[in-house]
Amino acid sequence: MTPPLLILRNITLCLGDTNLLSGAELIVSKRDRICLVGRNGSGKSTLLKIAAGKVDADDGERYVEPGATLRYLPQEPNLTGYETTRAYVEGELAPGDDPHRAQYLLEQLGLTGEENPLALSGGEARRCAIARTLTSEPDILFLDEPTNHLDLPAIEWLENELKNSRSALVLVSHDRRFLENLSRKTVWLNMGVTQQIEKSFTAFEPWRDKWFEQEELNRNKLDRKIASELHWLNRGVTARRKRNQGRLRALNALRAERRNQKAFIGDVKLTTTEGNRAGKLVIETSSIGKTYDGAPIVRDLSIRIQRGDRIGIVGPNGAGKTTLLNLLTGALTPDEGSVRLGPTLQMVLLD
């Protein structure tokens, strides 16, 4: 068995009065494929940053094998200070790295290398950051939400690139298919503590659900035991007998154990409340068009959207999906044509 490349033991971190991490652990060995999962806000990105050496823990042990190389892809890359995308990507090159790989990665991801980093769309900035991270093949790659803002061809390319990589991978992602296809181990961060199963993300949810069921059974068993002891206490026993003193101490210990237990958080269920029902028409456009810098983004689009329709807008990064959505909702005025919104329309936008 090869020695681990990285070990985190008993990692703790507090944010204000909140114990975000309280004994979290992570072990990464050569060629590992680990997905780090947990609820939003559970501390996955923070633990990833601690593992990558970007954030210091309040307490705990972090060991990295001498000479091991690490690369980290943040959720929100900072591209300021670079004149071109090529300069940004080449900024991560180390001595001995192939200088041509930066341009190769940019081209594979649909960039030329001459773009202004500050003028990139969200998807283009993400692709640029991925190219920077992959310019060399480190011992461990830490990837935080790598598929954010990527279109389907870019996700498929990245997945194939990572499958062929010799680096160990530690992934945080909300893309279930991406995790299922790449992971071989799953680390679950729950209430500040990690648990690991030697299986891919595909097996995680059934395992987690069984864990929740067992925790609930244990909790109910403890509640019944406390109720039984309280019944004994309420019969008016004397605390002067040594045997009764021991039983009272045991009851207090059970109460303390129950107080310290954290109830698990179940699945979120979203419901919508229906306001005043609008008319049948939602949006109608007539030959709308929009151009940026001489390039047509939307051209001669006529569409009628009615109540109950479900429409998906798809296309590569930079194709104009957000621009089209803004045109349809009235947030942006078309250069030509017209947009008509339903007279009693109530609109909610989630960006």
Q: Is the pLDDT of residue 37 over 80?
A: yes
Q: Tell which residue, 288, 297, 351, 286, has the closest CA to residue 323.
A: 297
* Inter-residue contact 51 to 26 (CB < 8 Å): yes
Q: Quick one: 62 and 155 in the same domain?
A: yes
Name the domain boundary from 168, 203, 238. 203
Q: Residue 258's pLDDT is what?
A: 62
Q: Residue 19's pLDDT is what?
A: 85
Name the domain boundary from 161, 178, 203. 203
Task: Give me the DSSP letters along 202-262.
Answer: GGHHHHHHHHHHHHHHHHHHHHHHHHHHHHHHHTT--S-SHHHHHHHHHHHHHHHHHHH--
Q: Quick one: 319 and 331 in the same domain?
A: yes
pLDDT (average), residues 5-34: 92
Q: Quick one: 106 and 194 in the same domain?
A: yes
Q: Residue 230's pLDDT is what?
A: 67
pLDDT (average), residues 70-78: 91
Q: Tell which residue, 320, 192, 165, has the closest CA to residue 260.
A: 192
273 domain residue, yes or no: no
Q: Quick one: 199 and 85 in the same domain?
A: yes
288 domain residue, yes or no: yes
Q: Residue 256's pLDDT is what?
A: 66
Q: Is the pLDDT of residue 63 over 80?
A: yes
Mean pLDDT over each residue of the chain, to the nearest integer: 85
Name the domain boundary from 203, 228, 247. 203
Distance CA 38, CA 193 (A): 10
Q: Residue 3's pLDDT is what?
A: 85
What is the number of other CB atoms lying within 10 angstroms of the CB of residue 69? 14
pLDDT tier for residue 250 given thresholds of 50, 70 and 90:
low
pLDDT (average), residues 291-306: 90
Q: Residue 265's pLDDT is what?
A: 53
Q: Quick one: 193 and 226 in the same domain?
A: no
CA 191-197-203 angle, 5° bins: 100
128 domain residue, yes or no: yes
The domain that holds 296 is classified in CATH as: 3.40.50.300
pLDDT above 90: percentage of residues in the chain: 54
274 domain residue, yes or no: no
Which residues lie closer than 8 Å to 63 by C-beta, 6 or more apart? Answer: 4, 6, 7, 9
pLDDT (average), residues 266-276: 51
Higher pLDDT pick, 244 / 266: 244
pTM assigned to the model:
0.73
269 domain residue, yes or no: no
pLDDT (average), residues 44-58: 94
pLDDT tier for residue 279 given thresholds of 50, 70 and 90:
low
Higher pLDDT pick, 257 / 75: 75
Q: Is the pLDDT of residue 272 over 60?
A: no
Q: Residue 157's pLDDT is what?
A: 93
Q: Is the pLDDT of residue 175 over 90?
A: yes
Distance CA 78, CA 251 (A): 55
Q: Is the pLDDT of residue 270 over 60?
A: no
pLDDT (average), residues 185-196: 93
Q: Quick one: 46 and 117 in the same domain?
A: yes
Q: Quick one: 112 and 256 in the same domain?
A: no
Q: Residue 266's pLDDT is what?
A: 52
Q: Quick one: 211 and 195 in the same domain?
A: no
Q: Residue 24's pLDDT is what?
A: 94
Q: Residue 350's pLDDT is what?
A: 81
137 domain residue, yes or no: yes
Q: Quick one: 165 and 214 in the same domain?
A: no
Per the structure, how many domains does the chain have? 3
Q: Quick one: 223 and 286 in the same domain?
A: no
Q: Residue 348's pLDDT is what?
A: 85
Q: Domain containing 140: what range?
A: 6-203
Higher pLDDT pick, 99 / 190: 190
315 domain residue, yes or no: yes
Is residue 140 within a helix (H) or strand (E), and if so which, with residue range? strand 140-144
pLDDT tier for residue 188 given thresholds of 50, 70 and 90:
very high
pLDDT (average), residues 111-140: 91
pLDDT tier for residue 152 given thresholds of 50, 70 and 90:
confident
Distance CA 93, CA 63 (A): 24
pLDDT (average), residues 26-46: 94
pLDDT (average), residues 299-308: 91
Cα 11 off chain centre by = 20
326 domain residue, yes or no: yes
pLDDT tier for residue 99 given thresholds of 50, 70 and 90:
confident
Helices (DSSP H) in the chain: which residue ranges?
44-52, 85-90, 101-108, 122-133, 152-163, 176-182, 204-234, 242-260, 321-329
Q: Quick one: 161 and 238 in the same domain?
A: no
pLDDT (average), residues 225-230: 68
Q: Residue 29's pLDDT is what?
A: 95
Q: Quick one: 79 and 122 in the same domain?
A: yes
